[in-house]
Amino acid sequence: MSAGEEQAIIKQYQPLIRALIPYEQQNRLLEGINKFSKRLPSAVRKVVKEEVVRLTSLTDAPADNSAFAHFPVMKFKHFGIQMRLDKVGAKILKSETSLYQDRYTVGVFESVMNSDFYQNQIKKDQFKKIVDAFNIESQSFTDIDFGDDIAIRPNFTVSSPEFEKGRHCSVSAFSHLGMVVETKRPPNVTTGDTITFTLPEVAGLTKEPTDIAFNLQAVKYNKHLGKYESFFVFPDDIEPEFLTNLRRYVKVTAYRQPLQRDLEIERAMQELERDRILENSPWLPVYLSAHKKSLKPTIALFTKANVEHNKAEKLLSSLQDKPFFDALAKELLKYNEAFVFHGTMKTKNATVKITATHRQLVEMGQLNALVYLLAKNDDFICSHCRLDVVTRTDKQKAFAIHDIASKEFEQLDNISHVLYCKDVSGYIGNLTLSAKCSFKPLSSSLKASGDNWHIDYVMEEDLDRRNETRYVIDKAASIKIGLLSSLEARVADLSASGMRLIVAPNSELQKEIRVSVPDLKIKNEKYKVVHFEPASGVIRLCLAEAGRKTKVSANVDIIVEENTAYFKVRDIARIQRLTHRFIWELAVRHMPSLAVLCVMNRFTLDRLKTVYQSDNSDDLFPFSRTQNIIPLHGFFADKGQAKPKSLILEAMFKESIQQHLVVHCVRKSDNRLVFIRERDFLYSKLRTQIKEQLDEGKIQLSSTDVTAIRCHGAITPLTKKRLAQLSKLDKAMYDKLETMQAGYTHCIFITNMSALHHDLVIDNLIAKRELKEPDSVPA
């Protein structure tokens, strides 16, 4: 065997050679060779064995890496041998001698003197710095579980003749372990004293004033509250029944009362940050309830961000077809994710509405054909949908937090799932075919049936354009349509100068009509038709004449004042406010994609504050988190740079781009990641090569959407609610948290879209180059 062949074998089997070095150190080389290389040819085994023996033999050659050192060289002796190394060389020397069991061998010498080995070490160190710079601490959308540490700050006081001369004292913490009592001065008590306090009558805990003995554990000064706190614990002989009741009481009231100060601050921080993510999220939540053996959509939540990011009404209309929604629900229950295509298509006979999921089209073999035809029309929309289960516990929390009686809101109590939707048409709208495809006859299952679900929606008060209090009411009414003829109607809701009527579907109406409602003392009053839906028969009206408004408004006000209790529970503003808060509370616990909260800072990377991620999210793929640390270098870091930089983040913060697609290919043979630039993936011939590799099963495609949204202001609809409890405990901390809210600048959402982009590539769909390409971010 020639020297060149031997060197080729050594290069090829380098990992095996390094793995065998510890075996040679322990005189077990043959055992190691047999373990790792049973199927190797004898000639190769011989070369490997000789190389291991050569590398592990001792040497006295002086090491000197000054020829390629990056740092100042240090002169020192190691093992009695002269060395001239910089700090990277010294690091290599240390790691290599540990591999060779602290012996200075030929292998150590060659590693220290090898420029390639040295440069690889430099690159590893640089890469580690980049990874560390983009590592962010994570939080969960799930509520913080305080476990046995949970303690509430109750709204009652306790007293004892043996403590502070029987004065009533505030309780700063109360749990099944004991309680903490506040005093302005240090109490005259000694650690270990047993003191009997009187607990007042507390609903859910005690039926009458009750004496409970406590043991004093410690007295400490709380500088935040400016008071002394006495820590009491329950004695060992406390009644188990009382402790059971106390556990239940703390669990039930934890959402209605403030927690102990430190816990309340932690809870408020999480709630404020989750609210901010929802307020600025592009995802539009639609709530579903059970219907027969499937699900049906009932109500949606509009926010400033999701209305701006999506064509909200078109998005909802793409989900309304009943037969389609049944199919969608089955797919979502199985995969938790779907992509919905909705639009019109011209056939020989007519123009038809089409709604389908991408999996349905893949199954029919029509993904490329129908996406190509649908994307040609202006009314096309592609929605990314994700489903999550709403548990009974979630609903109980939401009812408790906002003090809502579940019996008054049966529709909310029936919610079982939340479906998040987001318009992703930007990735589909300019696709064209890169190869011929067959156009099959259009399946009838894809055509709209015309039988639609009605989806209500609620929105923040800032988005609600109604400026009068409206009341839900059901009264008989009539509309005069001729000299002797009238149309029967029902009043659905009423305000001082308007109302909503329901008439028979497809009725004919003029722009101005005269309405009579005998029970409300409204007779032949002239109203303008603001909006009329012939299909449903819903009419929205407002008074036509300014002079008549005073009379009718006065009548309505008198009726409301005389029946205050009746109308209070029928106030639509109140109903919508409670509904809005309830479904908001559900939404913040089930956000569908990974979210990064960004704050103001001079340095770009320091603006990444916290990552929120659901427990079952796969949006980090092909990367993974380590405990509570989230690596974001794969999505933001500039590739091939020696220092941590991010042109993507800089562009997003300057708002020159809002959205970016980050693409990686995972090579299955060795799990190596290959980064693909967005432009190359969407437009270039590389897309065809990726398709060939996917067809052969050599790679796995990962495509991740990164969307940045500027925060819509310092305050969310629930900011005051979240801080209300804290204001009772610590005004200084309340002011600090309130001021902090103005520091958040952006929310960045990271969403895995691999399922869709994989199938688009497989089906020969490629993006058309625009005449003027948008400014893209260099990789």
- Mean pLDDT to the nearest integer, 164-188: 92
pTM for this predicted structure: 0.83
Count H helices, E strands: the chain? 26, 32
Q: Are residues 90 and 162 in the same domain?
A: no
Q: Is residue 395 part of a domain?
A: yes
116-137 pLDDT tens trace: 889 888 888 899 999 999 999 9
Q: How many CB atoms lie within 10 A of CB 529?
A: 16
Q: Are residues 435 and 380 in the same domain?
A: yes
Higher pLDDT pick, 21 / 548: 21
Q: Are residues 343 and 239 in the same domain?
A: no
Q: Is residue 144 part of a domain?
A: no
Q: List residues bridging with 631 in a β-sheet.
A: 135
215-266 pLDDT tens trace: 999 999 999 889 999 999 999 888 889 999 999 999 989 998 899 999 999 9
Q: Is residue 53 part of a domain?
A: yes
Does the pLDDT at position 708 exceed 70? yes
- Mean pLDDT to the nearest integer, 645-663: 94
Does the pLDDT at position 776 exceed 80? no
Residue type, 468: E
Instruction: Report the alpha-carbon distance of residue 645 to residue 663 in Å, rounded.
Output: 18
Please report the pLDDT score of residue 652 as a whole number: 95
350-409 pLDDT tens trace: 788 899 999 999 998 889 888 888 888 878 999 999 999 999 999 999 999 998 988 888
Does the pLDDT at position 590 exceed 90? yes
Helix (H, G, I), strand (E, B) or coil at 340: strand
Domain that holds residue 528: 471-569
Judged on CB neighbours under 10 Å (0-12, 13-18, 19+), 340 is buried
Give the angle 138-143-147 at the CA atoms, nearest 5°.
Answer: 105
Instruction: Report the alpha-carbon distance of residue 765 to residue 771 in Å, rounded.
Output: 19
Q: Are residues 299 and 333 in the same domain?
A: yes
Q: Are residues 450 and 491 in the same domain?
A: no
Please report the pLDDT score of residue 779 as a whole number: 46
Higher pLDDT pick, 686 / 770: 686
Instruction: Report the alpha-carbon distance of residue 489 to residue 508 in Å, rounded.
Output: 13
Q: Are residues 193 and 230 in the same domain?
A: yes
Give phi and psi for 143, each to the nearest 5: -55, 145
253, 268, 302 — which closes off a domain? Answer: 253
Does the pLDDT at position 204 exceed 90? no
Q: How many domains does the chain have?
A: 5
Please report the pLDDT score of residue 424 as a whole number: 94
Is the separation of the CB atoms in 566 and 256 below 8 Å? no
Give the angle 422-426-428 at the CA atoms, nearest 5°.
Answer: 100
532, 553, 569 — which closes off a domain? Answer: 569
Instruction: Report the alpha-carbon distance of residue 104 to residue 56 in Å, rounded.
Output: 9
470-486 pLDDT tens trace: 777 888 999 988 777 88
Peptide bond into 622 cis (omega under 30): yes
Q: Is residue 51 part of a domain?
A: yes
Token pair listed for 488: 């029967």
DSSP 378: T
Supply the DSSP string of 74-102, one letter for each residue. Answer: EEEEETTEEEEE-HHHHHHHHHHHHHTTS
Q: Is residue 309 part of a domain?
A: yes
Does the pLDDT at position 546 exceed 70? no
Lowest mean pLDDT: which of 24-28, 329-333, 546-550, 606-610? 546-550
Please report the pLDDT score of residue 653 as a whole number: 95
Q: Are residues 173 and 86 in the same domain?
A: no
Does the pLDDT at position 655 exceed 50? yes
Q: Are residues 454 and 391 in the same domain?
A: yes
Please report the pLDDT score of residue 771 as a whole number: 46
101-114 pLDDT tens trace: 888 999 989 898 98
Does the pLDDT at position 464 exceed 80? no
Whichever domain contains 198, its CATH number is 2.40.10.220
Q: Are residues 35 and 179 in the same domain?
A: no
Token pair listed for 155: 């709204």
Please report the pLDDT score of residue 500 as a whole number: 86
Q: Which of 243, 130, 105, 272 is nearest to 631 (CA)?
A: 130
482-512 pLDDT tens trace: 777 888 999 888 887 788 899 888 888 888 8
Q: Are residues 562 and 481 in the same domain?
A: yes
For 748, the enclosing helix (H) or strand (E) is strand 744-752
Please report the pLDDT score of residue 545 as a whole number: 72
Instruction: Report the alpha-carbon distance of residue 409 to residue 747 in Å, rounded.
Output: 33
Judged on CB neighbours under 10 Å (0-12, 13-18, 19+), 494 is buried
Higher pLDDT pick, 283 / 520: 283
Give phi and psi for 95, each to the nearest 5: -70, -35
Please report the pLDDT score of residue 284 as a whole number: 96
Give the angle 721-280-324 at the CA atoms, nearest 5°.
Answer: 110
Q: Is residue 296 part of a domain?
A: yes
Q: Which of 228, 229, 247 is nearest to 239 (CA)?
A: 247
Instruction: Report the alpha-carbon distance of residue 757 to residue 705 in Å, rounded.
Output: 11
pLDDT class for 772, splitting at 50, 70, 90? very low
Give the angle 596-601-607 at the CA atoms, nearest 5°.
Answer: 15
Judged on CB neighbours under 10 Å (0-12, 13-18, 19+), 553 is middle
Q: Are residues 371 and 439 in the same domain?
A: yes
Please report the pLDDT score of residue 628 as a whole number: 87
Largest CA distance in the chain: 119
Q: Is residue 289 part of a domain?
A: yes
Q: Which of 380, 398, 396 is nearest to 344 (CA)?
A: 380
Q: Are residues 308 and 393 in the same domain?
A: yes
409, 434, 459 — which closes off a domain? Answer: 459
Q: Is residue 430 part of a domain?
A: yes
Is the separation of the CB atoms in 76 and 53 below 8 Å? no
Token pair listed for 25: 């150190």
Can you tell me which residue has the tokens 């060939």?
692
Instruction: Report the alpha-carbon distance of residue 617 to residue 636 in Å, rounded.
Output: 19
Instruction: Report the alpha-carbon distance of residue 525 to residue 478 in Å, rounded.
Output: 11
Is the separation of the CB atoms in 182 and 229 below 8 Å? yes
Residue type, 161: P
